Structure 1
Amino acid sequence: MLPRPLAWLLLYLTMCVTTPLAARPRLLSPAATVRLVTCAPGTETYALFGHSALRITDPGQGLDHVYNYGTFDFRTPNFYGRFLRGDLRYFLSATSFATFYAAYQAEQRPLTEQVLALQPAETQRVYDELEATLASPARFYRYQFFADNCTTRLYELITRSVTGSLQLDSTYVPVGQTYRQLLAPYLAPAPWVKVGMNLGLGWPADQPTVFRQRLFLPTELSQAWAHTSRQHRPFVTRTRSLLAAPILPDQSPGWGTPGRVLGSLAILFALAASLPARYSLLAAVLGRGVLAVVGLTGCLIAGLHLFSLHTPAHYNYQLLWLLPTHLLVAVSPVRRWWRLYATGAIGLLVIGSLLGYGVYYARLLPEIGWLLGVLLGQLLLLRKQPFGVVQQTGA
């Protein structure tokens, strides 16, 4: 088995080499098949939601290619900045199934494939469009997590290529789930990513979805095809596991989870606030630290709202309590206007909590309750006695 980094490097290099060479249109035989390959979620942040690809096989011509819309180039200038802004270019690539399989085997990520019941002419249309896209600038696109990603593009390609209508039974899923609720089970294994992503998502992520909107998630698309029929026959003719899940030992979450860290911070803050006046320096340091962290988080969220092309990051009501101005208070000398500022911030915190946390957010992210409590306590102390320091005169 190849080491993990080497396997992914080999996959990337093979994609770069085979993509230009893959644009060789050919007439497929009637035995050719189109298969949806669904990759299970992995442990790395980029792999938490799984992945989808199309595998096209034609035994008579020795064809066994995997087409992947989830490829990007780490060498892109300002890679992380463009990723956060939503301006990172993804592209369609093609590689052999053997290379694709080796990379996921190194990751120990389960693979499942579904053979789709396409007619030979439909299979040919799928293959021709993929090959034509590979050889044109259309292979590049701007990735949008909810609306235009490696999975939604495969769904659209298949539905465009099918003659006649497909009957998709959507009764197996709950009605009206929000994007935030759909993401919750995938984020559970990565609690800090869950906190960050839920803070970064705004009001659009809280709108009820229709069934079609669920299909940005690879597992959801796989289940959708399994519940689809055409002329009263299943649209998936065969499902099989290509790579089984490894048996992993149970791992304790440890003390580094957001709930325990923020809970410990709340207890520490309460103890520091109750100390005699001669220990006010400790309370001041903790208080400024809390406001600085909250303010920096607010700056990041405000930046996503103003400059990101990711629509779900817009209209983020959490800016009502994650105020960027907290950073200014944290680094400035004591001022008279702090009491008025703290009063206004408490009011906005209450409104923001009622909009988000008090509605359904608490079930998805209960650890944020600790942070809200710490922040509210700091603002109340700031209103009463700024950072335990006797207020100075001046503006």
Structure 2
Amino acid sequence: MTRHVLFILIFVLTTSRMKYRILLFALLFLVGKNGLSQIPTLSDKSQISLLTCAAGDELYYAFGHSAFRVQDSALGIDVVYNYGTFDFNRPNFYLNFVKGKMIYSLSRRSFNRFLFDYEMEKRWVKEQILDLTLPEKNKLLAFFENNYLPENRDYLYDPLLNNCSSITGNILLEQFGDAIVFNDSHLENRFTFRQLVRQNLEINSWASFGIDVAFGSVVDRKATLQEHMFLPYYAMNQLKNTTKSGKPLVERERTVLDYNEHTKNGFFPLSPLFWFTLLLLFTLIVTYLDYKHKARSKWLDFSLFLITGLIGTFLLLLWVAADHTSTPKNFNMLWAFPLNLIVAFIFVFQSQPPKWFFKYLQIALALLGILVLLWIFKVQIFSPVLIPLLLTLAVRYGYILKFSKP
């Protein structure tokens, strides 16, 4: 069949007659549809492995990466199936990200091309070759190829429950069922989702602070054994402690790229703790001067009410109007109170505040106290970087209450 196709191809390319060129296009279409789309049958020399890649410097690389590799030296196959692909150019990319409707895709590329990025960034890559029978390898390859079809490759991304790493455990269970057993002997402690995320970020960084503020109390529950696998490092360690039909799932391990772990050294003057402490000191000085001169700095009050109101409104929308699984029941709104956005304009520009405003300030101070209690009883864990900001609000609320009281 191949010799006939080659003969026709040479014949068509050496003639200028239109009808033969039409025949060429039809032939290529049939070959592409019926030949190239067929999934190859792997040989005894094939291997399927899990690649784990080190964390990088950018936020979307901060947790590492996982992908599957399929190789067969007899067939010349060496490709990586990567469930962590996203497209910045997709319509409404940032809006969908905020709404919790982020679409990720399965991509397929050669192993060398996949590895090139990690070589450039000097990030280590480790490989765990899975102990699978030949029928199991072919079954897994067929699954990947079916997933790679245009109508199947996209999926709804969830940073904690459905990402490129957590999908590893889901695929193994889906393909091999009860034969897969995840053991927990390697885990000394079970962590909450918030604790797991913090393990990969510097606590005094804007990224960590922003994530802590956006997360609701729902992430302060302990993750299950399999849920720990949303982090690639935990997925790699879990595979070491996973059996299939009573035998270790990982046949052997090797290091593909050997680089040191990237260290993150933050610059304190650019950190949130530095700026919030500076804000607290500035607020204390302004409040003291206001007290001494029996005045009130309206611009400072307006700024605090406006900014906390805007943050609170955003958090409320993440809770009730978005599809994120990690943002509901967020008690950060006790300090970032959404109604502050309205109060900023009603109160600040009036010479005499309305009577209800004093009750409002008392409620605002009480909410700060409730937040501390929720923190103590671990209903929700808040960022320690938040402490100077909470003190800033308490100082200013208390002063305004005293100054504006009839």
TM class, shorter-chain normalised? 0.7 to 0.9
Identity of aligned residues (%): 28
C-alpha change, 1:118 and 1:209, in structure 2 (3 Å) is same
CA distance in structure 1 between the aligned counterparts of 2:344 and 2:180, rounded to whole angstroms:
58
Residue aligning to 1:344: 363
1:1-395 alignment to 2 at 5 Å?
23-162=37-176, 165-188=179-202, 191-230=205-244, 233-246=247-260, 251=265, 253-276=267-290, 283-332=297-346, 333-334=349-350, 335-336=353-354, 337-356=356-375, 359=378, 365-386=383-404
**Contact 1:200/1:316, CA 8 A, preserved across alignment:** yes
Distance 1:112 1:217 in 2: 15
Contact between 2:290 and 2:296, CA under 8 Å: does it hold in 1?
no
| 3-state SS in 2 of match to 1:186 | coil
User: Which residue matches 1:8?
Assistant: none
Letter in 1 for 2:333: L
Please give the TM-score of this superposition, normalised by the length of structure 2.
0.83
Amino acid corresponding to residue 391 of structure 2 in structure 1: G
Question: Are the structure 2 counterparts of residues 316 and 164 from structure 1 closer, same or farther at C-alpha, using a change threshold of 3 Å?
Answer: closer
Secondary structure at 2:74 match in 1: helix
Q: Output the CA distance in 2 between the equivalents of 1:360 and 1:346.
A: 19
Q: What is the CA distance between 1:142 and its match in structure 2? A: 0.8
Tell me, in whole angstroms, the C-alpha distance in 1 between the residues paired with 2:109 and 2:205: 34
CA contact (8 A) 2:131 2:250 kept: yes
Further displaced range: 159-168 or 201-210: 159-168
**Shift in CA distance, 300/281, structure 1 to aligned 2, threshold 3 Å:** farther
- CA deviation map 1:179-206 (0-9, x unaligned): 1111111122771111110111112101
**8 A Cα contact 1:24 1:131, kept in partner:** no
- Residue type matched to 2:399 in 1? L
Q: Contact conserved, 1:339 with 1:384, CA < 8 A, in 2?
A: no
Please report how far the alpha carbon of residue 24 of structure 1 lies from its aligned counterpart in structure 2 after TM superposition.
3.8
1:41/1:48 contact within 8 Å kept: yes
Question: Structure 2: any 5+ residue segments left out of the alignment?
Answer: 1-34
Q: 2:365, 2:246 → 1: CA distance?
A: 59
The farther-off stretch of 98-107 and 166-175 is: 166-175
Deviations 1:31-84 (A, max 9, x none): 111110111111111111111100000011110000011112211122111011
Note closer, same or farther for the CA distance 1:58–1:285 as it changes in structure 2 (3 Å cut).
Answer: same
Q: More displaced, 28-37 or 287-296?
A: 287-296
Check whether the contact 1:22–1:94 (CA below 8 A) recurs between aligned residues. no
The 1:268–1:42 alpha-carbon spacing in structure 2 relative to 1, beyond 3 Å, is: same
Q: How far apart are residue 286 of structure 1 and its match? A: 2.5
Q: Offset of 1:359 from its aligned partner?
A: 3.1
Post-superposition shift, 1:329?
Answer: 2.2
Q: Give the SS at the match of 1:64.
A: strand
Partner residue, 1:15? none
Q: Give 1:367's aligned amino acid.
A: V
**For residues 205 and 310 of structure 2, what CA distance do their matches in structure 1 show?**
20
User: 5+ residue gaps in structure 1?
Assistant: 1-20
Q: Deviations over 1:139-183 (max 9, x none)?
A: 111111222111222222223333762343202224442111111
Alpha-carbon distance in structure 1 between the residues aligned to 2:317 and 2:95 = 11
Aligned length: 367
Question: How far does residue 342 in structure 1 lie from its aligned partner after superposition?
Answer: 0.5
| Aligned-residue CA RMSD (Å) | 2.5
CA distance in structure 2 between the aligned counterparts of 1:58 and 1:95, rounded to whole angstroms: 15
Amino acid at match of 1:242: V
Q: Once the 2 structures are TM-superposed, how far is the Cα of residue 130 of structure 1 from its aligned partner?
A: 0.6
- Tell whether the 8 Å contact from 1:317 to 1:356 is kept in structure 2 after alignment: no
The whole-number CA distance in structure 1 between the counterparts of 2:261 and 2:162 is 33
Q: Aligned-pair distance for 1:229?
A: 2.8
